[in-house]
Structure 1
Amino acid sequence: MVAMSATEPDRLENFPVTFFAVMMGLLGLVLSMTAAEKAAGASGAASQFILGAAVAVFAVLVFFYGLKLVRHPAAVKAEWNHPVRIAFFPTISISLLLLGTALAQRMPDLAYGIWSVGVAAQAILALSVVANWIGHRAFQPIHLSPAWFIPAVGNVVVPLAGVQFGAVELSWLFFSAGLLFWIVLLTLVMNRLIFHEPLPSRLMPTLVILIAPPAVAFVAWIQLTGGVDAFARILINIAYVFALIVLTQAPRFFRLPFALSWWALTFPVAALSVASFVFAHETGSQAHRIIGFTLTAVLAFAVATLVVRTAQAIRAKQICQPE
């Protein structure tokens, strides 16, 4: 991961904000493994180890992107003005929210502090991104992709730990905002996918993001309402429907070259895994429990593969290159 240094200012200038999608994948794996360990009655050693690794990676990413902000503010501004990359800025706040959620049962005081910073950052980034979308810029259909769901997904992550921290009304506020923009963006994204040219190869993996909003919203809804009802069932089954739709495109994925966008595969799978375990716990469904374990295994393999591929790309200096 540490492919940059102060002696390589040009590469630092091209250090992408999309790197924070790696954090969503790692922390998603932590939450998925934690749910799997709880369902299996196992110790939390595996999830604890991955959490430690995720924290170390997050520290490295924050350091280098902070260095980029100080040394190359124009490059950061260019990313903010990029019609696709702007949607990845909330991955920073979502990573904080997920980290707070992962630590909630382990170190509640520290978790609350991290979660609070994440909430503030998510509010600022989500509002800023939406303001940018509806501002003076003229976006084209080609600019739209499932990555635009990221700011909305961040909002529905807030209740995952927010209810435990006693911020119930705040959690409802973010959940409502996330649900609203998910519905709006779903219409726009499906229109783009059906009636316009196919996604560029670098963005094809973002199709998997379609799974994340309903899966995370299901878990958030359970936290907010305390049980599985009709709407909860609708949410989790929508997530399964999108998972099946994405599977129809799987053969195309295997022909694509590696890019950081491949990390977009991980968090949605984690979200669906956790949602499956939550549904199994609430209803006693053995089938959903098996789905949860299967998805966790797939996720662990995917993350391990992507870690290796990312390390290889960094070593070959293929990541921090101008586009």
Structure 2
Amino acid sequence: MTTSTGAQLAPSTAAAGGSSVTALPVALFGAVMGLAGLALAWRSAHAQLGAPAWIGIGLGWLAMLAFVAVTAAYGIKALTAFGAVQAEFNHPVAGNMFGTPLISVLLLPMLLADASLPLARALWAAGAVGMTVFAWFIVSRWMRGAQEPVHATPAWIVPVVGMLDVPLALPALHWPGLHGVAMFALGVGLFFALPLLTLILSRLMFQEPMPEPLRPSLMIMVAPFAVGFSSYASTTGRVDEFATALYMLMLFMLAVLLGRLRNLPRCSPFRVSWWAVSFPLAASATATLRYAGHAQDVYTNGIAMLMLGIATVVIAGLLLRTLAEIARGELRTLIG
């Protein structure tokens, strides 16, 4: 990948000024998504495999604390360096990651529903409306044309396929009359997954390789199948042949992408962008646990435990490495 292409794909933080906070990318909300997804996976493991309940509860509180911290930090950036926020939003790749705070708001209600159902419902409603408006805006921007093929990266999946996260919380919210909303979100997410994955695969096959800092985002390509499976099962209330096909496709994509990413720690310095792998892995763990509950056999239970272990180890490693770098005052290096 040439330097000029790498610059096109990775927005500069120079405009953000000297503060590390004002240099924070909105994609850091991916850490919230990963922690929330892992908390939900461990809650599923408690229900399905009898895992300790305190792990899911503790991870849930950690996810909510991370959401508050990242929201506050990015709020400071918006107040002190609004031009940097505007430049990030208008960037053809980074702008898509403004879906990550909205997806976070859609995931947190599942962790809050037992403590405060009204708060969980309010958060979900805000997230559902925001996700729908953002998806509409991004699709409208795409349809204006003049998109560069090199910009078709996995980040493009976030704004529209992120609609698949809308139905996930509805069973926990006990909110009748929203089946049509769930079907709308499911239809939009699944429909746009097909052309977007085609465009991204075409870019990966016929363009130069993605820059090293962006390679963790390849794992996002698992999300349409992992989240699609859970969203479909939540909306229809069953695991049928179509849901099984999504599950099988998820396993295939995991096999491909985990192989591609296994050498990443040796070829690319640690960056905040590595958190892009966290939510797809956590969503895959949740999907495998849900399918294991349907299949009820030793093989699917083994796959579920393996995926839960991989997701837990990877996300724990990302969290510890991020906290260690922040403690050493290296936040700006992680963002660069």
TM norm structure 2: 0.88
Q: Amino acid of the residue matched to residue 318 of structure 2?
A: L
- For 1:94-243, list aligned pairs within 5 A: 94-135=103-144, 138-163=146-171, 164-166=174-176, 167-243=178-254
Instruction: State the match for 2:258 in structure 1.
Output: 247
> Equivalents in 2 of 1:120, 1:151: separation in Å?
13
What is the CA distance between 1:239 and its match in structure 2? 0.5
Instruction: Please report how far the alpha carbon of residue 182 of structure 1 lies from its aligned counterpart in structure 2 after TM superposition.
Output: 0.7
Q: Distance in 2 between matches of 1:98 and 1:161?
A: 7
For 1:133 and 1:123, locate their aligned partners in 2 and report how far apart those are by CA, in whole Å. 15
Q: Quote the residue 1:52 is aligned against.
A: 61
Deviation at 1:86, TM superposition (A): 0.8
Q: Please, which runs of 5 or more residues in structure 1 have no aligned partner?
A: 1-7
Q: Sort the Cα spacing of 1:288 and 1:152 in 2 relative to 1 into closer, same or farther, 3 A.
A: farther
Shift in CA distance, 291/105, structure 1 to aligned 2, threshold 3 Å? farther
Residue identity matched to 1:94? I
- Give, in whole Å, the separation in 2 of the partners of 1:109 and 1:227: 27
Match of 2:46 among 23, 31, 37: 37
Q: Is the 8 A contact 2:22 2:76 kept in 1?
A: no
The 2-side partners of 1:185 and 1:234 are apart by 19
Q: Deviations for 1:128-152, whole angstroms, at most 9, x for unmatched residues?
A: 222222236x332222211211123
TM-score with structure 1 length normalisation?
Answer: 0.92
* One-letter code aligned to 1:162: L
What is the CA distance between 1:231 and its match in structure 2?
Answer: 0.7
Partner SS state of residue 238, structure 2: coil
- Measure the CA separation in 2 of the matches of 1:190 and 1:104: 38
CA drift of 1:43 comes to 4.2
> 2: distance between equivalents of 1:245 and 1:13?
36
Q: Which residue of 2 aligns with 1:3?
A: none
Which structure 2 residues correspond to residues 62-81 of structure 1 after superposition, within 5 A? 62-81=71-90
CA shift for structure 1 position 248: 2.4
Residue aligned with 1:109, SS:
helix
Q: Does 1:310 align with 2:322?
A: yes
User: Counterparts of 1:79 and 1:315 in 2: how far apart (Å)?
Assistant: 26
Comparing 311-320 with 252-261, greater Cα deviation is found at: 311-320
User: Conserved in 1, the CA contact under 8 Å of 2:32 and 2:104?
Assistant: yes
Offset, 1:319: 3.4
Structure 1 distance, partners of 2:75, 2:166, is: 24
Name the count of aligned residue pairs.
315
Aligned to 1:227, the other structure's residue is in SS state coil
- Percent identity reads 33
SS of the residue corresponding to residue 57 of structure 1 reads helix
CA RMSD of aligned residues (A): 1.9
What are the Cα deviations for residues 198-246 of structure 1, in whole angstroms up to 9, with x where unaligned?
Answer: 1110111111111111111111111122212111111111111100111
1:93-145 CA-to-partner distances (Å, cap 9, x unmatched) read 00000101233345433211111111111112222222222236x33222221
Question: Given residue 292 of structure 1, which amino acid in structure 2 is its aligned partner?
Answer: A
* Amino acid of the structure 2 residue aligned with 1:121: G
Rounded Cα–Cα distance in structure 1 between residues aligned with 2:182 and 2:97: 22
Moved more, 35-44 or 49-58: 35-44
CA contact (8 A) 2:100 2:158 kept: yes
Q: How many Å separate the matches in 2 of 1:132 and 1:311?
A: 36
User: What is the CA–CA distance in structure 1 between the aligned matches of 2:188 and 2:217, rounded to whole Å?
Assistant: 22
Looking at structure 1, the residues matched to 182 and 77 of structure 2 have their Cα atoms a distance apart, in angstroms, of: 33
Aligned partner of residue 204 in structure 1, secondary structure = helix
Residue aligned with 1:248, SS: helix
- Contact 1:279 1:285 survives alignment (8 Å): no
**41-50 vs 72-81, greater mean Cα deviation:** 41-50
